[in-house]
Amino acid sequence: RTWMAALNIVFLVCYTLECAVRVFVQRKEWFAHGLNYVDAMVVLLGAVDLIMNANGSRHFNMLRLFRLVRIVLLLKAVRWAPALWSMVSGLVGALHAMSWGLILVVLLL
């Protein structure tokens, strides 16, 4: 559990720095793109989640759902690396085929 908490902090710091750098570089243009607001909301809710978990509060477990949004943001960055994108899309295709195989095995048993 401790390595996952540390990894969560590392990702939160990376997303925070990325968001801050984009605000600094884009300035007024940053407000014109809707995904920037999503990025900022993910960073803000991640920080709130981290603070609440540090205080021992378990009432904000719904905020953990916003971690899924981070995966979408990560996939947005993966598209910039063609080799990595082809590897991820191949993995998704393989998972799709394996799920159908699992359904067939369950139906046959």
Over residues 72-108, the pLDDT tens digits come to: 666 666 667 778 778 877 887 888 888 888 888 888 8
Cβ neighbors of 22 (< 8 A, separation 6 or more) are: 30, 36, 39
Over residues 17-42, the pLDDT tens digits come to: 988 999 999 989 989 987 788 788 88
Per-residue confidence band for 63, with pLDDT thresholds at 50, 70 and 90: low
* Tokens matching residue 54: 């540090």
Over residues 42-52, the pLDDT tens digits come to: 888 888 878 87
Q: What pTM was computed for the model?
A: 0.55
